[in-house]
Amino acid sequence: MRRVAVIAMLVLAAWPNVADAGGIAIQVAMWASAAGLGGVAANVLGVLAAGAVIALGASALRIPTASQSRQRQVLKQPTSQPEIRYAYGRTMASGTPLKFFRPAVEPNKKAVYGCVILSSRPSEGGEMEFFVDSRPVTIPAEIGETFGLGDPGDPVYTQGDPLDFDSDGYSIKPRNFASFNTGDFLRVWVGLGDQTKPPQRILDECNGFFTESDAGTGLTVLWYRWNTGGSGSDGLQKRANRWPNYPRSPAFDVVMDYSKVWDPRDPAQDKDDPDTWEFSKNHALCLLDAIRQNPVQPWPDAQILLDLFEDAADVADESVDLLNGGTEARYEVSGTINWSESELYNQLRPLERAGAGRLFYSGGKIGYYPGEYTTPGYTLSDVLDDNPIEFTTMQRGRDIPRRLVASYTRPQRLWETAELPSVEVRDGAGEERSLELGMVTSASQARRIQLIEARRLEAQKMLSCTAPPSAFDLLPGSTITVDLDGLSHMDGVYRVTNADPGIWLSGTGEDESSGVAMRVPITASEEASTFYDWDETTDELEIVDPLDPLEDVVLSLGASTGEVDADGDVPNDADYTQVRLYRATTGAGFTSASPTGAAQTVTAGSSFSLTFTGVTTGTADFWLVPWSSDSLGPPDGPHALTVT
């Protein structure tokens, strides 16, 4: 017990609010109690676990994380206790089935009703793309328009708003689905968290199985009404072709703008009022949100170095030039975190890596430094002699990988994992190393991070010493200039990887007044501004998709408000089935573009003349993009238009 008490005193001195440590400490406390340890020891173990794991920031590249495609497969599985997940940025989120109902009698005996959870929190919405059983869907009509087969006597349907729970629902049709003679076979509704009841049509048709208490308020959910098709042996045989997921309910993936996050730089946003937050793909803001709002161990603001996250958010917003002449934000994220998947800090790794930076823990607080060069603010010109200087000018070749391979998530290929060509690491003789960037959806952003990390691996100088009291304010991530008299071979710029200030108040000998002293043990690694160099003409990779480009594309204003006309020719390629119109702020580039309006069907080897409706008015850049069964083709654009 004496040993436990001593450890507790040491840890509490560095951790001002153990009670605020949250879920990690509680979970470890439960394990410790089961092992026969007391409450104090359990809390200490929880704090040590949190502090020790985050110290692995320097070796973050070695920690594997689940790919986004694998997480989607996990989240699609039915379960009695759906995993808590947060979707960030504009991403594809997979639905976990929550409730499922099949009526036993007519008139709706062939219909199946259900609800899936997409995110465990409210979402922004925006333009939506739907996938059913991993197939992109077609849209029979724009919202509010009527549609049908067109033959006399055939029923006519109205396209509902997916966000309107009092409508008949949003009709979608999986690609190549030609078996049904009705436009009412699959209807969906999307709740962004503010819904107060299930869709009224489902309440009316489900004989009380669903009630208003099943609303899923505060969650992002998708409700569906699914017509399984004809009865009899013929209907059963066709069902497996119609629905690959049969006999289970359809598997849903939805692409849209998900979490709203707090931006401490905006005075209009209240950190304690999520209703004032805004949607953002900014890497640092999403990382800050994950630290503050995660359900495992939410960190209180008093233990977060908020100013560092604000600085990182500014860095993430910076524009980077692209090969196509446009720009993109420096560091953005898109993806889902399944908080039940593994330990907390492993879940933060994909967000951390997306900014080429490192999380760190210092003085009881968590901080972050992004992937950018900062001018040194401190010069180390003297060291204390109570500990020897440790200096490494060259590491063992086997500890440095020969090559660095980066993978990222590619929306143009149905949000599956894609791999960039590897980068050679100078002086490396070890095994090839992987850099998993699952929360990155831009090939150019992934390439920039890959180059930064490879250059860091090539820099081999490392320094450990005890700095004087003037270094007391140094934090991990601080850059310093080393200029030690008589040790010119150590000179240069370094980034601090660990700083551990110490204060002694007790004196020595008879003169107790001599006892006040400070010492700052630090470790630092070589740093250079060239690590972050980027030349789009030589560094950016041209990602070639399998489809040939559209030909002779002309975009013009439509006859009515919010319309864009598109004319052109489709290559003679059977994979061409649809084209989509994408829109982005003028000069932002295609990587910042989002689809606008519904996809339009085209025929391989023929001309097309299409009208996209519901386009946001104003001046913007537009691209026309072919869409096959497994990827987007090369975008045609930008076309500058002012939509009225």
CATH of the domain at 578: 2.60.40.10
State the Cα–Cα distance between residues 334 and 594, nearest whole angstrom.
Answer: 13
- Mean pLDDT confidence for 79-107: 87
**Residue 552 scores a pLDDT above 70:** yes
Please state whether beta strands 135-138 and 173-174 pair in parallel, antiparallel, or not at all (unpaired).
antiparallel
State the Cα–Cα distance between residues 269 and 108, nearest whole angstrom.
Answer: 47
Q: Would you place residue 177 in the very low, low, confident or very high pLDDT band (cuts 50, 70, 90)?
A: low
Q: Are residues 523 and 633 in the same domain?
A: no
| Final residue in a domain of this structure, among 521, 543, 565 | 543
Burial of 249 (0-12, 13-18, 19+ CB in 10 A): buried
Any idea of the CA torsion for 303, 305, 309, 310, to the nearest 10 degrees? Answer: 120
DSSP bridge partners of 222 = 116, 190
The pLDDT value recorded for residue 516 is: 53
The pLDDT value recorded for residue 280 is: 97
Q: Are residues 248 and 101 in the same domain?
A: yes
**Residue 335 scores a pLDDT above 90:** yes
- Mean pLDDT confidence for 191-217: 94
| Final residue in a domain of this structure, among 45, 62, 79 | 62
211 in any annotated domain: yes
CA 636 to the chain's CA centroid: 27
Q: Are residues 206 and 108 in the same domain?
A: yes
Q: Are residues 149 and 232 in the same domain?
A: yes
The pLDDT value recorded for residue 170 is: 94
Percent of the chain having pLDDT more than 90? 49
**Residue 418 scores a pLDDT above 60:** yes
Q: Would you place residue 109 in the very low, low, confident or very high pLDDT band (cuts 50, 70, 90)?
A: confident
| Final residue in a domain of this structure, among 543, 562, 582 | 543
Between 29 and 379, residue with greater pLDDT: 379
Single out the residue of 357, 276, 301 nearest to residue 527, CA to CA: 357
- Mean pLDDT confidence for 115-137: 91
354 in any annotated domain: no
Single out the residue of 632, 634, 642, 640 nearest to residue 136, CA to CA: 632
270 in any annotated domain: no
The pLDDT value recorded for residue 232 is: 56
**Residue 185 scores a pLDDT above 70:** yes
**Residue 9 scores a pLDDT above 60:** no
- Report DSSP letters for 592-638, one per residue: G-EE-S--EE--TTSEEEEEE-SPPPEEEEEEEEEE-SS-B---EEE
Q: Would you place residue 26 in the very low, low, confident or very high pLDDT band (cuts 50, 70, 90)?
A: very low
Q: Are residues 513 and 614 in the same domain?
A: no
Between 576 and 569, residue with greater pLDDT: 569
Q: Please answer whether residues 508 and 524 qualify as being in contact, where contact means their C-beta atoms are separated by less than 8 angstroms.
A: no
Q: Are residues 384 and 501 in the same domain?
A: yes
Which of 104-108, 491-495, 516-520, 633-637 is the least confident region?
516-520
pLDDT tens sequence across 380-413: 999 988 788 999 887 777 888 999 999 999 887 7
pLDDT tens sequence across 236-269: 556 666 666 666 678 899 999 999 999 999 999 9
Direct distance between the N- and C-terminal alpha carbons of the chain, in angstroms, rounded to an integer: 76
Single out the residue of 37, 35, 42, 38 nearest to residue 18, CA to CA: 42
Q: Are residues 248 and 177 in the same domain?
A: yes
491 in any annotated domain: yes
DSSP bridge partners of 16 = none
**Residue 70 scores a pLDDT above 80:** no
**Residue 437 scores a pLDDT above 50:** yes
Q: Are residues 231 and 171 in the same domain?
A: yes
The pLDDT value recorded for residue 249 is: 73
Which of 140-144, 570-574, 636-640 is the least confident region?
570-574
Provide the H-helix boundaries in 329-482: 344-353, 443-458
Between 229 and 104, residue with greater pLDDT: 104
Phi, psi of 255 (to 5 degrees): -100, 125
Average pLDDT, the chain: 81
AA letter at 41: A
Single out the residue of 187, 185, 176 nearest to residue 228, CA to CA: 185
Q: Would you place residue 211 in the very low, low, confident or very high pLDDT band (cuts 50, 70, 90)?
A: very high
The pLDDT value recorded for residue 49 is: 31
Q: Would you place residue 7 in the very low, low, confident or very high pLDDT band (cuts 50, 70, 90)?
A: very low
> How many domains are contained in the chain?
4
At a CB cut-off of 8 Å and minimum separation 6, what does 531 contact? Answer: 373, 452, 455, 456, 459
Q: Domain of 522?
A: 374-393+461-543
Residue 321: CB atoms within 10 A of its CB come to 16
At a CB cut-off of 8 Å and minimum separation 6, what does 193 contact? Answer: 121, 122, 123, 217, 218, 219, 220
The pLDDT value recorded for residue 15 is: 28
CA 298 to the chain's CA centroid: 18
Between 73 and 461, residue with greater pLDDT: 461
Q: Are residues 109 and 201 in the same domain?
A: yes
Q: Are residues 617 and 504 in the same domain?
A: no
The pLDDT value recorded for residue 157 is: 87
- Mean pLDDT confidence for 429-442: 92
Q: Is the pTM for the entire model greater than 0.85?
A: no
Q: Are residues 383 and 526 in the same domain?
A: yes
- Residue 293: enclosing H or E segment and its boundaries? helix 283-293
The pLDDT value recorded for residue 24 is: 22
Which of 24-33, 192-201, 216-225, 453-462 is the least confident region?
24-33
Please state whether beta strands 600-601 and 578-584 pair in parallel, antiparallel, or not at all (unpaired).
antiparallel
Single out the residue of 497, 642, 634, 494 nearest to residue 556, CA to CA: 642
